């Protein structure tokens, strides 16, 4: 006698109602978040595959992912390989917004590191962690002195741009120093006016890495446009926006504030309560 039992897998997905009731987000972003949180572990879709799962274009998907990051449902984390080199990024996608600054974006307070590690294989998205190459579902994120800067001054902390003679909280450029015209243009455009002195130090660090002042200013304007009407507590500090992880790179586009490259993005799922998505999926 042969007995066959036909049993259906659990067809339900249980997620927190908070993102669904978050009036700051579009239904597109809510739908993408719900879709990611519903997927099983080890799921590895690309951005194109996400687009094919709906009628939305890849650009629309990227915009939705960007929205999740803006409101704290996505947080980025570095992936390190041998020798401490950054080999990619992972982003955690959460059911509830994460308002605390992620560990990777907190200022470095140890021994100054003069050169940041080179990123070899950027781009990942994951449900547990989102990285520069993959996304996964874990249910539950060079040497150019700027105008007005003293090129002979001590380098200080390369990770934060801190200088020995600069006041961390006062917002002054430092003893006997003035803010550069480019930085003032950036600060004028940036939507959250807090911790100006720290932003100035990080600005100088980015310029030493040969980042473009014009691009940072343009990114600030795009971010200000996208953040219009958003409570300040949900807007990144300027020092974080142009910090070591360079979130400003995602806001270099002329149309939707997007930036990044055209490389294919992947999603990778990991166990847990958060779904992750790669940060550099914006093209």
Query: How confident is the model over 152-169, as pLDDT tens digits?
Result: 344 444 333 334 434 333
Whether the predicted pLDDT of 80 surpasses 50: yes
Stretch 136-155: mean pLDDT: 40
What is the pLDDT, as a whole number, of residue 186? 95
pTM of the model: 0.39
Q: Look at residue 219 and tell me if it is in a domain.
A: yes
Which residues, listed in sequence order, are joined to residue 162 by a DSSP beta bridge?
A: 157
The total domain count for the chain is 1
CA 107 from chain center: how many Å? 15
Q: Look at residue 176 and tell me if it is in a domain.
A: yes
Q: Look at residue 166 and tell me if it is in a domain.
A: yes
Q: Look at residue 9 and tell me if it is in a domain.
A: no
Print the domain residue range for 61: 19-281
Q: Look at residue 70 and tell me if it is in a domain.
A: yes
Tens-place pLDDT, residues 183-233: 999 999 999 999 999 999 999 999 999 999 999 999 999 999 998 888 888
Describe the crossing of helices 213-226 and 181-189 by its angle, rounded to 10 degrees.
Answer: 10
User: What six digits make up the tokens of 177?
Assistant: 């120093």
Which residues, listed in sequence order, are joined to residue 74 by a DSSP beta bridge?
A: 93
| 256: DSSP letter | S
User: What six digits make up the tokens of 85?
Assistant: 């080199």
Whether the predicted pLDDT of 35 surpasses 60: yes
Q: Look at residue 4 and tell me if it is in a domain.
A: no
Question: Predicted confidence band at 8 (pLDDT cuts at 50, 70, 90)?
Answer: low
CA 77 from chain center: how many Å? 9
**205: number of Cβ within 10 Å:** 26
How high does pLDDT run on average in the chain? 69
Q: Reduced to 3 states, what is the DSSP secondary structure of residue 70? A: helix
Tens-place pLDDT, residues 81-105: 888 887 777 767 788 888 754 444 4
């Amino acid at each position: 006698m042969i007995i066959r039992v036909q049993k259906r897998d659990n067809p339900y997905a249980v997620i927190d109602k908070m993102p669904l009731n978050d009036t700051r987000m579009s239904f597109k972003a809510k739908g993408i978040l719900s879709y990611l949180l519903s997927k099983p572990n080890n799921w590895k879709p690309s951005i194109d595959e996400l687009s094919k799962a709906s009628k939305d274009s890849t650009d629309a998907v990227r915009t939705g992912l960007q929205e999740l990051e803006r409101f704290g449902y996505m947080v980025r984390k570095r992936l390190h390989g041998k020798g401490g080199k950054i080999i990619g990024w992972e982003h955690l996608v959460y059911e509830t917004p994460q308002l605390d600054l992620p560990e990777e974006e907190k200022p470095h307070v140890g021994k100054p590191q003069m050169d940041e590690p080179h990123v070899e294989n950027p781009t990942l998205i994951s449900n547990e962690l989102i990285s520069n190459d993959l996304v996964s579902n874990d249910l539950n994120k060079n040497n150019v002195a700027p105008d007005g800067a003293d090129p002979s001054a001590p380098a200080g902390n390369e990770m934060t741009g801190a200088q020995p003679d600069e006041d961390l909280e006062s917002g002054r450029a430092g003893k006997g120093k003035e803010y550069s015209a480019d930085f003032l243009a950036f600060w004028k455009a940036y939507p959250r006016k807090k911790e100006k002195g720290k932003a100035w130090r990080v600005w100088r660090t980015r310029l030493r890495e040969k980042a473009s002042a014009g691009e940072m200013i343009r990114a600030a304007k795009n971010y200000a446009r996208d953040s219009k009407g958003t409570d300040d507590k949900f807007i990144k500090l300027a020092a974080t926006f142009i910090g070591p992880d360079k979130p400003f790179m995602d806001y270099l586009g002329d149309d939707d504030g997007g930036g990044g490259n055209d490389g294919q993005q992947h999603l990778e799922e990991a166990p847990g309560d958060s779904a992750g998505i790669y940060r550099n999926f914006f093209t």
